[in-house]
Amino acid sequence: MIILFNKNFVKKQKKLSAKVVARLLGRLELFESDFQNPTLNNHSLQDKLNGYWSINITGDLRAVYYFKTTESIVFTDIDTHSNLY
């Protein structure tokens, strides 16, 4: 699977602490190897984010993505649950 990141995601990632970035990288590795792992709480989104999916990074931090093709996904946003939804 090819994982891509849009500009918004990269911009927000740069603002995260080193500890959170390390957690993010660990979750992305887990996602790449087993995107259905229960730890990720991978789930589809509704309403204005219909067609997008979300994974948990920390207790409140989420990463949002969509399937670009059957072989690639694009992470579009990373933020707290309340800011995203």
15: amino acid identity, one letter: K
Which residue intervals of 1-85 are DSSP H helices?
Answer: 7-14, 18-33, 81-84
Could you tell me the pTM of the whole model? 0.93
- Decide the pairing of beta strands 2-5 and 72-80: parallel
Query: What does the alpha-carbon distance between residue 71 and residue 11 come to, in Å, rounded to a whole number?
Result: 24
3-state secondary structure of 10: helix
Residue stretches of the chain with pLDDT short of 50: none
pLDDT of the residue at 34: 94
pLDDT recorded at residue 1: 85
d(CA 83, CA 85): 6
Please tell me the total count of domains within the chain.
Answer: 1
So what's the pLDDT on residue 85? 78
Q: Is residue 52 situated within a structural domain? A: yes
Say which CATH number the domain at 34 has.
3.30.2310.20
In a domain, 84, yes or no: no
Q: Which structural domain range is residue 30 located in? A: 2-78
